[in-house]
Amino acid sequence: MSGFYYKVAARIMMAIMAYATEEIANVDSDFQNLIKNENLIVQWAVNKDGPASYFQIENGKFNAIRDQRHPKPDITILIKDGKTAIKVLRGSPEILQEQVDAGNVTVNGDEEKIEQLKPILNIIQEYLKDLRE
């Protein structure tokens, strides 16, 4: 598959994740409790010029912004290429960590904010696990 294919597929997966997380925020009381006091902006991007989206949590409200880069995110998750993005966006939380360890994904931001993000990602991944099967 070409790099273009993976960029398009990554953009679609980002949109699915954004939409799904907005829905989770509307219906899941555990997720709502988890984010109720959070203020966090998380940027997802595929390399420096590939697809990008971010989500913002502000006082318990979740908002996904598709196809944009935030000028000052709290956390940036930069994925080296579209093929890796598909693995990460479809995968379990362990795959994200494996790709970080392999140098294919970098996560930048305040360590405390990154720790706050982990349980949020775990809930999202639990809902999205059927996409992996």
Is pLDDT above 80 for 2?
Answer: no
pLDDT tens for 52-91 read 999 999 988 999 999 999 999 999 999 999 889 888 887 6
Q: What's residue 36's pLDDT? A: 92
Long-range contacts of 125-129 (CB under 8 A, 24+ apart): 125/91, 125/92, 125/93, 127/20, 127/24, 127/28, 128/16, 128/17, 128/20, 128/90, 129/92
Average pLDDT, the chain: 88
Q: What is the DSSP secondary-structure string of 52-76?
A: EEEEEEETTEEEEETT---SS-SEE
The token pair at 99 is 């790709």
The C-alpha atoms of residue 124 and residue 8 are separated, in whole angstroms, by 22
Residue 69 burial (CB < 10 Å; 0-12/13-18/19+)? Answer: middle
pLDDT tens for 25-63 read 999 999 999 999 889 999 999 988 889 999 999 988 999
CB 109 within 8 A of CB 74: yes
Q: Which domains does the chain have, with CATH numbers?
A: 3-132 (3.30.1050.10)
Residue ranges with strand state E in the chain: 39-46, 52-58, 61-65, 75-79, 105-109
Residue 73 burial (CB < 10 Å; 0-12/13-18/19+)? Answer: buried
Q: What's residue 128's pLDDT? A: 75
Give residue 49's identity as a one-letter amino acid code: D
pTM: 0.88
Q: pLDDT category, 8, cuts 50, 70, 90? A: confident
